[in-house]
Structure formats: C-alpha cells, structure tokens
Amino acid sequence: MMGNPIYDKALAFAIRTVNLYKYLSEEKHELVMSKQLLRCGTSIGANVSEALAAESDMDFVHKMAISQKETKEVLYWLTLLCRTEYLTATQHKSMEDDCHELYKMITSIILSTKQKVNKKS
C-alpha cells in the first residue's frame, strides 16, 4: 500500500501519534488522555488500510468515514491536552495541522467516491 497518498499520510500521522504518546507518558506522566489520543490517532490509518481492501465502494466509504470521525476525536484530545498544559501551543498546532490535512483528504475521497457511486446508479 506504500505509495498511496492517504495511506502514507495516515501512517506518518500514526507514527507522530505514537511518538507523542511516548513523550506524554514518559516525560509528562500523563496516561489517560494520551492513551485515548494513541487509540484514535492510530485508528485513522488502520481504517484507511481496511478501506483500501474494501469489498465494495460503499464498504470503502464506510471505512473512510470511520477514519474521518477518528480525526475529529484526535482534534478533541489534542485540544484538551493543550488546554491542560500537557502540550505547548506549538506542539498542538503542529499535530492539529496534520490532522486537519488528513481530514480534508479523507473528506475529499469520500465525496468523490460517493459521486462515482451515484454516476453508476
């Protein structure tokens, strides 16, 4: 799957999320919110990976929609971690920007796939 832009972006974001989790748990000793962030931040790529192996266009859209929802959850946890001073504004902005980019890519993919499905009907 390497070479697929959404897969590559989601994998890179998952790696950043894992590294942020390590930082939060080891340096800041924050274990609850960071674990939530780890789960949803890595779930984006896992669902993208499942979508790329989908059995139908609608299965693909469904898996991508789950990834889309996970990006929203990531944004929540990043904001909470920033507002509780576990993340600096710079750390927050960097992760938030990447997450927003993923969200836009996923949304575009979902919309274009739905249009393709509608044209077939």
CA nearest neighbour of 7 among 36, 39, 48: 48
Question: For the chain, how many residues are written?
Answer: 121
Q: 1: pLDDT confidence band, cut at 50, 70 and 90?
A: low
What is the residue extent of each domain of the chain?
A: 5-120
CA nearest neighbour of 69 among 35, 46, 94, 97: 46
The CA distance from 40 to 31, in Å, is: 15
Whole-model pTM: value is 0.94
Q: 94: pLDDT confidence band, cut at 50, 70 and 90?
A: very high
Q: What are phi and psi of 30, to 5 degrees?
A: -100, 120
Q: Report the SS3 class of residue 30.
A: coil
63: Cα separation from own chain's centroid = 12
Which tens digits make up the pLDDT trace of 19-51?
A: 999 999 999 999 999 999 999 999 999 999 999
- CB-CB contact of 105 with 79 (8 Å): no
Q: Which CATH superfamily is domain 5-120 in?
A: 23S rRNA-intervening sequence (1.20.1440.60)
